[in-house]
Amino acid sequence: MLIAQLSDTHISAPGHKTCGVADMAANLRRCVDSINNQDPRPDLVLLSGDVTHSATRIETEHAAEILSALEVPLFVVPGNHDDRKILAEVFGPMRCPTTQTGFMDYVIEGYPLRIIGLDTLNTGQHSGQISPERLDWLKEQLHTKSDLPVVLFAHHPPLKLGVPETDQEEFCGAAHLGELVAAHPNIERFLCGHIHLHTNTGWHGTIVTTCPSIGMQLTLDLKQRNPSQFLLSEPAYLLHHWTADEVLITHPIQLSEMDGPFDFTS
Ligand SMILES: [Fe+2]
Ligand SMILES: [Fe+2]
């Protein structure tokens, strides 16, 4: 099984660059083209939030129009730069399944891995959250088919990652989520976005992986002396490969021009 993960697309209105400099629409088109041309082609695409930059309908429709060129199924969870209601209306229930309580919490079945999307949007805040009621929902899903490997998928990483995006405002409910994760060793991975960097961190018996943005890379400042800034980067996404040996291997895909391939023996 092959999963492509896109994150932090931060799409602006047509004809506008994000923050005046980042052509995220062009970056997203290149990523869509790359995913469609992967061989083997991914089984599905997960978009882990911050689909838009300013949470407007016009931006959301712009993102949906670009993503409509994907030739594999797409699933989306919201980020802090998105409007949950607009996202659900524009992308529809196939790509943004929503529970009766209005959150985009859902399970993707029918693949060797069970994928559980979690809506961590805390409206009006940058940081993530998961309420006790929704942890109960997750517990119920994890108890179902508990013999199958699981991948969790959300916008906000549930732990501090040494950057202001996760360290200044804590993820509300992270401790209880951590207890739940620790009790389910079949959770292979927790896929996130939000920090615009690719990282891998052990957490309660699983690995939290953050996906890079498709073109706005966080300037890495481990002393956190400066407010967050970004660098214009080449479009990037992750490919998660669940192999026949039942291990999940993550390949960062960077869409830059590279010479080759060359033989090791020459
Ligand atoms: Fe973002
Ligand atoms: Fe974010």
Give residue 210 CA to ligand 2 midpoint distance, Å: 11
- Contact present, 10 and 18 (Cβ < 8 Å): yes
With cut-offs at 50, 70 and 90, classify the pLDDT of residue 228. Answer: confident
Cα-to-centroid distance, 79 and ligand 1 (Å): 7
Instruction: Please state the length of the chain.
Output: 266
pLDDT at 23 > cutoff 80: yes
Distances (CA, A) of 255 to 90, 235, 265: 28, 5, 26
What's the whole-number mean pLDDT along residues 141-163? 95
- For residue 19, give the ligand nearest its CA: 1
Q: How far is the CA of 79 from the centre of ligand 2 (A)?
A: 5
Kindly identify the ligand whose nearest atom is closest to the C-alpha of 121. 2
> pLDDT tens digit string along 73-89?
999 999 999 999 999 99
pLDDT reported for residue 224 = 78
Give me ligand 1 centre to Cα 52, in Å: 9
Q: What is the pLDDT of residue 85?
A: 96
What residue spans define the domains of the chain?
2-254
Is residue 257's pLDDT more than 80? Answer: no
Question: Which ligand number lies closest to the CA of residue 24?
Answer: 1
Position 262 scores a pLDDT of: 85
CATH number of 2-254: 3.60.21.10
pLDDT tens digits, residue range 237-246? 999 999 999 9
Distance 266 CA to ligand 2 centre (A): 45
CB burial of residue 15 (10 Å; 0-12, 13-18, 19+) = exposed
Q: Please check whether residue 212 is in contact with residue 196, taking contact to mean a CB–CB distance below 8 angstroms.
A: yes
pLDDT digit string, tens, across residues 166-212: 888 899 999 999 999 999 999 999 999 999 999 999 999 999 999 99
Q: What average pLDDT does the structure give for the chain?
A: 95
- Taking the centre of ligand 2 as the mean of its atom positions, its distance from the CA of residue 73, in whole angstroms, is 23
pLDDT at 259 exceeding the cut of 90: no
Q: In sequence order, what DSSP letters do the residues of 243-265 get, joined into one string?
A: -TTS-EEEEEEE-S-------TT
Q: Does residue 159 register a pLDDT over 80? A: yes
Is pLDDT of 160 > 90? Answer: yes
